Amino acid sequence: MIPPEILLIIINFAIGLIITISLNIEVGLLNIPQFGRLLAVIIGAIVAAAVPGRILAVMLGYPWGVEYADHMYNFKIVAGINKVLANNPLLSIGIFILTLIIAALLGGLIGYLCAYPAIRLKLAYLGITLLAFGDLVVTIAWNYEPLVGGTTGVFVIDPFVFTGPAMRFTIAAFITLIVALALYVYAELLVRSPYGRMLKAIRDSEIAAGIYGKDIVKAKKQILIIGGAMAAVAGALWALFTGSMKAVTYTRLQWTFWPWAFMMLGGVGNNLGIFIGVLIYTIVRFLIIVYKGVISTIVGVSPEWLEYILVGLLIIIIVLFRPQGLLPEKPTYSIPTRKIVSIIKRVEEEGGK
């Protein structure tokens, strides 16, 4: 049996990893100032809260319209659905995968819409526009009750319920971790592919890449779609894991700025660095939570505020002293290093003749 503390680290790490990787694809590979990561994340969470529950409600004959998100009915409907899901693993797995697919599709759509400003605006303007769009969606989800219950929030159906109460959180956390690792591998393959090298070329010099006939607009669109889809999957996984969805808990700080801090700590453009950055930060944050009492008696202030100060200082120190992060981005080779060394040797020998 895995202790709940470890599970907490695993789930936070997995969600943080997906979001930061998705951020890195956009920022690290294409230099898009994505200050609206929250946008795609909350879209994913809204999908998880609003869509699979309604599909099952239709199938099982529960009300699925406005009543579904009403706090008077929602918990009854979700409890009823969960009872059915508990005896039906196949349906649970199916609905879990379907949720992730819908979340990814809608997240991709959001990315596509973000491409409209992204190919027209630069740096600060784009960053602020994306940030504002994120806040707008939170405002809508918070106030428009038929969507996800507005201020009262809604319960999310539980596709892991069939594993039984003892194992539910363990299995849910590990499935989330597996999805995160799969997306990590995907991101790493993307970086190493010819396509990834093209993105880096565009990032380093749009003009030069353009001269060589690379379609910059298309690349930006594709990357925003991929990044949005990944972030939405993370949002959906988080909502499914926690079992509830309340728009106001999706803050700019936690879902945009924290991942930015992870990314800068690990190394912009380097997936392995980000893996380490997220891991370090998740563990440190966990330790702060565990030793809350001890810290507050020593320092004399609430550890919650101490966390803000520490993260703020961390960001400042990284930007000032190590802007490339803990693990700086390394050039990725399309062929093994051995081969490159042998080619260099051969060229040198030929040059010597």
Partner 1 sequence: MLDLIVKAVAYSSCIGIGAAAIALIYSATKTFNFAHASLVSWGMYVMFAGTYLLGYTPYLYIPFTILVGAALGLVIYGGVNRWLLKAKASEINLMMSTLGADLVLFGFLNIYSDYLLQTYKIPAKYFVLEVKDVVFKIGNVNIRLIGIIAPLILVTIVILLHMFLTKTKIGIAMRASIENPDLASVSGVNIDLTYVLAWLIGGGLATLSGGLLSLIVTGYTAAGMTMIVSFFAGAIVGGLYSIFGSLLGGLLVGLSEFLGITLLASIAGGWIYAYRPAIPLAALAITLLLKPEGLAGFFVKVRE
* Per CB under 8 A, 253 contacts partner 1: yes
**Residue whose tokens read 């918990």:** 75
Whether the CB-CB separation of 42 and 137 falls below 8 Å is answered with yes
Nearer to partner 1 by Cβ, of 123 and 178: the residue is 123
List C-alpha distances in Å: 22 to 25, 260, 301: 5, 11, 35
| CB 313, min distance to partner 1, A | 6
Nearer to partner 1 by Cβ, of 132 and 178: the residue is 132
Nearer to partner 1 by Cβ, of 22 and 31: the residue is 31
Q: Which spans in 149-211 are helix H?
A: 168-192, 194-204, 206-211
Site residues for partner 1, 77-136, by CB under 8 A, read: 117, 120-121, 123-125, 127-129, 131-133, 135-136
CA 5/CA 16 separation, integer angstroms = 16
Nearer to partner 1 by Cβ, of 252 and 292: the residue is 252
| CB 320, min distance to partner 1, A | 6
Site residues for partner 1, 256-275, by CB under 8 A, read: 257, 260, 264
- DSSP letter for 243, please: S
Residue 96 CB neighbour total at 10 angstroms: 22
- DSSP letter for 334, please: S
Beta pairing, strands 154-155 & 244-245: antiparallel
Nearer to partner 1 by Cβ, of 118 and 177: the residue is 118
Tokens, residue 185:
């591998």
CA 353/CA 255 separation, integer angstroms = 60
Site residues for partner 1, 23-52, by CB under 8 A, read: 27, 31, 33
Nearer to partner 1 by Cβ, of 193 and 302: the residue is 302
| CB 350, min distance to partner 1, A | 41
H or E segment to which residue 245 belongs: strand 244-245
* Per CB under 8 A, 302 contacts partner 1: yes
Q: Which of 87, 139, 205, 334 forms a contact with partner 1 (CB under 8 A)?
A: 139
| CB 343, min distance to partner 1, A | 34
Whether the CB-CB separation of 94 and 75 falls below 8 Å is answered with no
Number of residues binding to partner 1, judged by CB under 8 A = 43
Q: Which spans in 31-73 are helix H?
A: 37-60
* Per CB under 8 A, 5 contacts partner 1: no
| CB 203, min distance to partner 1, A | 11
- DSSP letter for 331, please: P
| CB 274, min distance to partner 1, A | 15
DSSP string, 52-112: HHHHHHHHHT---SGGGG-TTTHHHHHHHHHHHHHT-HHHHHHHHHHHHHHHHHHHHHHHH
Q: Which of 185, 304, 333, 345 forms a contact with partner 1 (CB under 8 A)?
A: 304
Tell me which residues touch partner 1 (CB under 8 A).
27, 31, 33, 117, 120-121, 123-125, 127-129, 131-133, 135-136, 139-140, 142-143, 252-253, 257, 260, 264, 301-302, 304-309, 311-316, 319-320, 323
